[in-house]
């Protein structure tokens, strides 16, 4: 297992387009988290899954954002009708229950 994997690493999209990111967690981890990190800020929590259940969503996660984790394995984060304010690094992390969270390298989104 090579750790948490995110795809793509970079995404440039035009305002109004939809984008989807994928995260593959460490295989034995049952929890998966999405965070957003903007320039000069620490990561901010978006949502997390325990197995396939989405247990918590931040108020940052507007109606344009949706996340899934089918079968409790990989997860996708979709942003519909992207806005320039969505430009950020999207980080995925996984853990086994409340133990150490391991982070992926992130997907950098640029909305032009």
Partner 1 sequence: AQTVTQSQPEMSVQEAETVTLSCTYDTSESDYYLFWYKQPPSRQMILVIRQEAYKQQNATENRFSVNFQKAAKSFSLKISDSQLGDAAMYFCAYLNSGYSTLTFGKGTMLLVSP
* Interaction site with partner 1 (CB under 8 A): 3-4, 31, 33, 35, 40-45, 48, 50, 55-56, 91, 93, 98, 100-106
Q: How far is the CB of 73 from partner 1 (least distance, A)?
A: 19
C-alpha–C-alpha distance, residues 65 and 80, integer Å: 6
Q: How far is the CB of 29 from partner 1 (least distance, A)?
A: 12
Which C-beta is closer to partner 1: that of 25 or that of 104? Answer: 104
Which C-beta is closer to partner 1: that of 19 or that of 101? Answer: 101
């Amino acid at each position: 297992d090579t750790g948490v994997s995110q795809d793509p690493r970079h995404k440039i999209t035009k305002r109004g387009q939809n984008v989807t990111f994928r995260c593959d967690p460490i295989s034995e981890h049952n929890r998966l988290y999405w965070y957003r990190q903007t320039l000069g800020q620490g990561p901010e929590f978006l949502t997390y899954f325990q197995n396939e259940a989405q247990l918590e969503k931040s108020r940052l996660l507007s109606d344009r954002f949706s996340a899934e984790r089918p079968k409790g394995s990989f997860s996708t984060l979709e942003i519909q009708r992207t806005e320039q304010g969505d430009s950020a690094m999207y980080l995925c992390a996984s853990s086994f229950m409340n133990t150490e969270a391991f982070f992926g390298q992130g997907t950098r989104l640029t909305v032009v």
